Amino acid sequence: MGTIAPSAKPNLALRILRFPLTLIVLEAIVFILIGGSLEAASAVKRMGFTPVGAFIFTVVGAVVLILVWKASRRWLEGERDHEFTLPGAGKELGAGLLAGFLLFTIMTGLVALLGGIEIVGTRPFGQTQFWAWAALGIASGIFEETLFRGILLRQLERLVGTWWALAATSVLFGAVHMMNPDATWTGAISIMIEAGILLGAAYLYTRRLWLAAGMHAAWNFTQAWVFSVPVSGTGQTVGILVTRRTGPEWLTGGDFGLEASMAAVFVATAGGLWMLWKAHQKGTFVAPIWRRPRG
């Protein structure tokens, strides 16, 4: 029988190319250039698309983004894609969509019980922004989860370990929401805590992006189209329910939206911590590079 020669160690240039910080810069640039256009609603409008056309454009763009991701994992990182493989995708995506809807609905119900929001009527479907928010839900779910969890969290984890990577990406995820028109630091900090933990835990639990993308998409869509509440300080939305928010900002979230409500922080963070605990039980968390045994 012949012997199999050990694989050659990658040369210096390849090791530099595939170093986590290098990959963060290269992959982030590519995905911001491609994915950013999916979330730029004004740019899509300037192309002359109808609402349905803009939705189709976004779906096609999301598919392209996933294909670029697969190519990046194969040709840039030298590995196979694990995050967007198709087996089990429907189950995980469906679970994420349901979880995002339920979490936001439960949180809104809690705000209603405390007197912070009430339903005063409904709108005909044709007068709502259904297609716009369905498109933006897909865009934010696929693009932002690929960027923050697929690239940043995954690559930082290779250097500083799971806990520090989760903390860093949670802070960054909340901070970038300060760029929105009606953003507040209260809202940004709420996003850091509730969404950073919840979505990070969804990735760490599955080590794939379908669950997190579904949660993210459904949370935004439910907030905007179902309850007609501003999404992360991006202005008033027109959904199927006509709602009115009254009371202090800690309860209603003010112009930022219900995401900045303490009810949202409580409900979403509780769900995130539970999922994080389940993920930790799997024993797949990574120690910082300085605490790993040298092999």
Q: At what angle do helices 130-139 and 210-221 cross, to 10 degrees?
A: 150
d(CA 129, CA 192): 27
CA 212 to chain centre: 6
Backbone angle region of 283, left / alpha / beta, with phi > 0 → left and psi within -120 to 50 → alpha: left
CB 289 within 8 A of CB 159: yes
Tokens 């901070």 sit on residue:
175
The phi and psi torsions of 206 (rounded to 5 degrees) equal: -100, -20
pLDDT score of 77: 95
- Terminal CA-CA length for the chain: 28
CA 144 to chain centre: 5
The model's pTM is 0.92
- In tens digits, the chain (295 residues) has pLDDT values of 444 444 556 688 899 999 999 999 999 999 998 887 766 654 555 567 788 988 998 899 899 999 999 999 999 999 999 999 999 999 999 999 999 999 999 999 999 999 999 999 999 999 999 999 999 999 999 999 999 999 999 999 999 999 999 999 999 999 999 988 888 899 999 999 999 999 999 999 999 999 999 999 999 999 999 999 999 988 889 999 999 999 999 999 999 999 999 999 999 999 999 999 999 999 999 999 988 887 5
Q: Is the dihedral of CA 106, 269, 137, 111 positive or negative?
A: positive
pLDDT score of 86: 95
pLDDT score of 9: 64
d(CA 136, CA 248): 28
Please give the single-letter amino acid code of residue 56: I
